[in-house]
Structure 1
Amino acid sequence: MRVLHVVTLHTPTHAFGGPTRVALNLCRSLRAGGDEAVVLALGDGFADGPGGRAEFLPRRVDDVPVKLFPARHVLPRFEVSGITSPALLANAPAYLRSADIVHVHLMRDLITLPVALLALALRRPLVLQTHGMVDPTDKPPARLVDVLGTRRVLRRADALLYLTESERHATAEVVAPDPLAPAHRLVNGVPERSDPRTGEPGRPPTILFAARVQRVKRPRDFVTAMPTVLEKVPDARFLMAGPDTGPLADEMLALADRLGVGGSLEYLGALDHDELLLRMREADVYVLPSTFEPFAVSILEAMSVGLPVVVTRTGGLSPDVAASGAGRVVDSDPAEAADNGGAVGRAILELLEPEAHAEASAAGPALIAERFTDGIVADTLRGIYRDVLARRAAG
């Protein structure tokens, strides 16, 4: 089976986050099972200037073939939604016609939505995956985009993949009262790892935050948890990693200084995937206190190496974390002025206790092996693809 995955953006630092990582993971697993799978996307940040020159763009990422085109920032105020490539769109029909399945990681943007519309026009089998990015909105530009194209592809695709029931209901609201395309649940997955954490006995405990440094990820709760933890474990180290989407990283470092704990916090900036996994293997607790996290791949990565996690109740993975004992789940007030650091700090302290830490460390890899490996997810996805092609053949 020839499968074309279409995602908006790939950068050297994986600044776009989850959708690109999911696309790469799925392609790698499909290829391991004998299918041909390729990623089509924009490339940005590989050379000086917007998008860089095409010769600097990689042809493989994580051993997956990729077709990348230099990004053009035509609507900077819309960030990722405002980048495109006339060359990619011009070449897209040839890529679509050569694929048995077109799998679009959809958002309201100038790449995935036009390609999805083009797939409909060319009558190509179309599978959409929204990653929680397409939900009801009051923003006029997004509502206009919905009228011009989003609602059409959500109705007419051969299959729609969702992570959680809440995501499916939210996506259905976008097209209401019309029916949504046939919907199937597909969780995110990660490789099952045989190389767990390498923590050294006797060294100071390390607490890691690794995500885009933006307000929805609540890095403030990570920083304001520090005094609670340091009061009991004064030698603990806190590491904050991830691309900064603005001046927020500096704000968090300044906040730590005001709290008197600045000497215990280090900002590492953006990490590539291998370095992120290394940091996870060396850490003792992973913290992601996001306001909402549909199904964070970083949480799966942490659990896959046996790193206990602290997450908020609003995350799509939180029920699995709580039921398995792979970490702690805390409540979170999304209000900007709210301070949830105390709850996060207490959860960290619980997981630093030797018995609780050992239990959570063992529970994470077991949960991944049972439900969330790339192989399990790819088998489910392959079945969805076959159903789509069978319905096409019968229709």
Structure 2
Amino acid sequence: MKIAHIVTYVSDDGAFGGPLTVAIGQAKELARRGHSVDIIAGWDGIAELAIPGVTVRLFPTRRVLPSGFSGLVSPALQSHVRRSLTTYDVVHIHLSRDLITVPVALAALRRSRRVILQTHGMVMPDSRLQARVLDAVAIRRVLHRASAVLYLTQREQQGVFTVSGGQAKLAGITNGIAALGPNTPSPISNLSNDVLFLARLHPRKRVMAFAEMARLMIGLGSSAHFSIVGPDEGDLAELSKFIAEHKLDSRLSYEGAIPPGAGAARLGQSSVYVLPSRGEVFPMTVLEALSVGTPVVIGNDCGIAPELQSRGAALVTDGSPKELSEAVSKILSEGELARDLIANGRRAVDEYFSISAVVDQLEALYNPQR
């Protein structure tokens, strides 16, 4: 079977990280099973992306609107897709309200391709004028006509149901990651004493909660170092001011962005991964942390918090700096707790979040007559 995965954007700073990471994992496993897979994406002209067994086709973008990723266009990508659509058995689109994936979806549906949409929490009810206009003009139509629309959580299921007017063919799926073999030692080094924030510096990701957590822990005598990694999307200036005002520059550092695919390695160098963001649907960085044996601290409104908490695979907090600091301090000081989180996290990846199980679901959706 020949399959195209369409993603909005690939950039050197890894800013469009989650959907791209999901697409890469799915494509690698599909290729391993013998399918012919292309990843097609807009491109910043700098990033390098090579995936074993997968053809990667990147096309330059330009900005026509100021609104983040949704303001990017890629005429070369649209032209390539129009020429090649008939060669694919399935077009799997990682859809958001943008000017790259939406036109691809419309074109694929006009050609009667089997179209699978996966929205990653990016197509939820939105009262802003731009979203309402795009929903009326295109989004509702592609949600109605797609062969399946994949959702990750019940909240996303309800959101997509609402946006589509109840007409989408919804199918539940999880995100997945390659599981470590049963005899593979965990690469975690609890002696590193590094506490990591790895996400965009966007207000929703709440890097300032992480920074305040670090200040509290340092004030209480913690010897940990606190590292922030990710592209700036509005909060860097406030973060820099906070570090200077509280004289934390030797203990709280901003490392900048890292390229696509580098997240797991950076997570594996840390003792704890903290994601204090609000409204996360299904964060791939959390699965990456679990897979490399790094204990995780998350907020209670994260889409996978209940599953991880029930499995003892993460510490779940209310997201406040105080609760975050208490959770991180426990992991750093209680070796048995850290070991239990590592073991339970790896078990969760093996049993529930494996890419093999995800692609089993995809193959059934791609070829329902099989």
Shorter-chain TM-score tier: over 0.9
Worse-superposed segment, 147-156 or 37-46? 37-46
Given candidates 182, 187, 196, the residue that maps to 1:197 is: 187
The 3-state SS of whatever aligns with 1:376 is: helix
Amino acid at match of 1:299: V
Residue of structure 2 equivalent to 1:50: none
8 Å CA contact 1:92–1:115 kept in 2: the answer is: yes
Deviations 1:292-343 (A, max 9, x none): 11100000000111111110111111112211112211113xxxxxxx2111
Could you say which residue in structure 2 is the equivalent of 1:105?
Answer: 94
Task: Establish whether residue 381 from structure 1 lines up as the match of residue 358 from structure 2.
Answer: no
1:264-299 Cα distance to aligned partner (Å, 9 max, x none): 111111123554323222211100011111100000
Instruction: Look up the match of 1:278.
Output: 265
1-structure distance, mates of 2:339, 2:122:
35
Alignment match, 1:7:
7
- Structure 2 distance, partners of 1:256, 1:363, is 35
Of 325, 330, 336, the residue aligned with 1:355 is 336
CA distance in structure 1 between the partners assigned to 2:231 and 2:325 by the alignment: 24
Which residue in 1 is equivalent to 2:197?
209
Q: In the alignment, which residue of structure 1 is the partner of 2:116?
A: 127
Counting only pairs closer than 5 Å after superposition, residues 165-184 of structure 1 correspond to structure 2 as 165-176=154-165, 179-184=166-171
Aligned partners of 1:62, 1:288: CA distance in 2, in Å? 30
Paired residue secondary structure (1:311)? strand
Q: How many residues align?
A: 366
Alpha-carbon shift at residue 375 of structure 1 (Å) = 1.3
1:49-88 superposed matches below 5 A: 60-61=50-51, 64-75=54-65, 77-88=66-77
Q: Deviations over 1:86-113 (max 9, x none)?
A: 1221221222111001111111111111
2:27 alignment partner in structure 1: 27
Deviation readout 1:96-131 (Å, 9 max, x if unpaired)? 111001111111111111111111111111111000
The corresponding residue for 1:159 is: 148
Superposition map of 1:230-249 within 5 A: 230-246=218-234, 248-249=235-236
The structural deviation recorded for 1:175 is 2.2
Native 8 Å contact 1:89 1:115 kept in 2 = yes
Which residue matches 2:107?
Answer: 118
Equivalent AA in structure 2 for residue 100 of structure 1: D
The Cα of 1:68 is off from its aligned counterpart by 1.1
The aligned residue for residue 228 of structure 1 is 216
Please report how far the alpha carbon of residue 182 of structure 1 lies from its aligned counterpart in structure 2 after TM superposition.
1.6
- Counterpart selection for 1:298 from 285, 304, 321: 285
Structure 2 unmatched runs, 5+: none
Counterpart in 2 of 1:42?
42
Deviation of the 1:65 alpha carbon = 1.4
Secondary structure class of the residue paired with 1:180? coil
TM-superposed deviation, 1:37: 1.1
- Which SS does the other structure have where 2:67 is aligned? helix
Displacement after TM superposition at 1:13 (Å) = 2.6
**Distance in 2, Cα, partners of 1:223 & 1:4:** 40
Cα distance, 1:195 vs structure 2: 5.1
Q: Residue deviations 1:32-62, cap 9 Å, x none?
A: 011111111111141xxxxxxxxxx757346
Q: 2:137 aligns with which of 138, 144, 148?
A: 148
Alignment-mate amino acid for residue 348 of structure 1: V
Compute the displacement of 1:231 (Å).
Answer: 3.9
Counterpart contact for 1:39–1:66, Cα < 8 Å: yes
Identity %: 36
Q: Which runs of 4+ in 1 moved over 4 A?
A: none
SS of the residue 1:116 aligns to: helix
CA RMSD across the alignment: 1.8
Q: 2:175 aligns with which of 180, 183, 188?
A: 188
SS state at 2:121 partner = coil
* Aligned 8 A contact 1:164 1:185 in 2: yes
Q: Give the AA of the match of 1:69.
A: F
Secondary structure of 1:366's partner?
helix
1:4–1:95 contact (8 Å) kept in structure 2: no
Matches within 5 A, 1:247-262: 248-262=235-249
Structure 1 residue 196 displacement after superposition = 2.1
> Is residue 243–residue 269 contact of structure 1 (8 Å, CA) maintained in 2?
yes
The alignment partner of 2:222 has SS state of coil
One-letter amino acid of the counterpart of residue 167, structure 2? L
Instruction: Give the match for residue 316 of structure 2.
Output: 329
Match of 1:368 in 2: 349
Gaps of at least 5 residues in structure 1 are 47-56, 333-339
SS of the equivalent of 1:283 reads coil
Give distance in 1, aligned partners of 2:59 and 2:7: 12
SS in 2 for 1:244: coil
Instruction: Give the distance between the partners of 2:186 and 2:270, measured in 1 at CA.
Output: 11
Does 149-158 or 63-72 show the bigger shift? Answer: 63-72
